[in-house]
Amino acid sequence: MWKTHKAAVEHELREILGVEELDPSDPGYFQQRNAAAKCVIDKMNEQEKAALSTKIEEMRAEGNPEPIQREYVGPIPNPMV
């Protein structure tokens, strides 16, 4: 949803958080992203949902693009160890 419908998810996120401007450093920004994405999906008609499903299957088959794969640096070290 974030890749394909980011503007709509951000709109719903602003509604959920009750803000006009989103602040990525706000804990609610990340915590409410899934709820915002669900709101977008709930508002879609069947044709839009089918197109989204097709896109999901394409992305699953193709995997992440190389630049995103290169961003992964491994597990985050545990500071408590």
Q: Which residues of the chain have pLDDT under 50?
A: none
- Please choose, from the candidates 55, 58, 17, the residue with its C-alpha nearest in 3D space to the C-alpha of residue 36: 17
| Rounded CA separation 44/35 (Å) | 15
Structure pTM? 0.72
**Could you tell me the CA-to-CA distances from 26 to 2, 19, 67 in Å, in that order?**
17, 11, 26
Q: Mean pLDDT for the chain?
A: 87
What is the amino acid identity at position 36? A
Q: At what angle do helices 6-17 and 33-42 cross, to 10 degrees?
A: 110
| pLDDT reported for residue 81 | 63
| pLDDT reported for residue 74 | 64
| pLDDT reported for residue 56 | 87
